[in-house]
Chain A
Amino acid sequence: DAKTTQPNSMESNEEEPVHLPCNHSTISGTDYIHWYRQLPSQGPEYVIHGLTSNVNNRMASLAIAEDRKSSTLILHRATLRDAAVYYCILRDVGTGGFKTIFGAGTRLFVKA
């Protein structure tokens, strides 16, 4: 399975944009990039996903590098409620995406 690499932690100020990076240098052409976040004592929740093009939804934006070896989750205005662990994962068309493996993620701290 292709792996992802994320910084262990990041810090942001409230109401400022946050750019969470993810490296996936061994990504295959059939891997979808998914992002989830986990608030304390809760299960992860889906944030966004994409294949090649940048994606926007009400929660965040996903910027995917042209060579697809990295991506960035963008929170446009961080709030205290965005403090969570953010996971970047790859879902493979070839295996049907069944084996969804999570890494350690990035713990985001938001300062008031």
Chain B
Amino acid sequence: SQTIHQWPATLVQPVGSPLSLECTVEGTSNPNLYWYRQAAGRGLQLLFYSVGIGQISSEVPQNLSASRPQDRQFILSSKKLLLSDSGFYLCAWIPGDRPSYNSPLHFGNGTRLTVT
């Protein structure tokens, strides 16, 4: 079966520290992968999406970056965290072997990041 793993579940980091969040998908090949962020009480903001290894599209210019070193691995990074980076970070995927417009997004359980 297909599953998505996100870790860690919670993270508290000081301002200026680096960040690395990892997401992996199992049971599928060549998925489309997404990173979203949700600030407290707000909707979901699309940060990055990827349609293949090394292919990253950025939606919001900021101090975050994403990488896809392997087919089913998606990493969100920052060199120096800001207070405004606090939020709920969600990874999601769509099967790559079907039209994505007609496929449900599958979300991970998210990482709650607090920057202090």
Contacts and interface: CB of A to CB of B under 8 A. Distances in A.
Interface of A: 30, 32, 34, 36, 41-46, 49, 87, 91-93, 96-105
Nearest to A46: B104
Contacts, number: 67
Given A42-B109, A43-B90, A43-B108, A100 B34 contact: yes
A34 B42 contact: no
B115 to A, nearest CB: 19
26 contacts: A34-B104, A34-B105, A41-B110, A43-B92, A43-B107, A43-B108, A43-B109, A44-B105, A46-B104, A46-B105, A87-B44, A91-B101, A93-B101, A96-B51, A96-B99, A96-B100, A97-B99, A97-B100, A97-B101, A99-B49, A100-B46, A102-B36, A102-B43, A104-B42, A104-B43, A105-B43
B44 A44 contact: yes
Contact of B102 (A32, A98, A99, A104): A32
A32 B105 contact: no
Given A44-B44, A49-B102, 11 more contacts: A36-B105, A41-B110, A44-B90, A44-B105, A46-B106, A96-B51, A96-B101, A99-B49, A100-B49, A101-B46, A102-B36
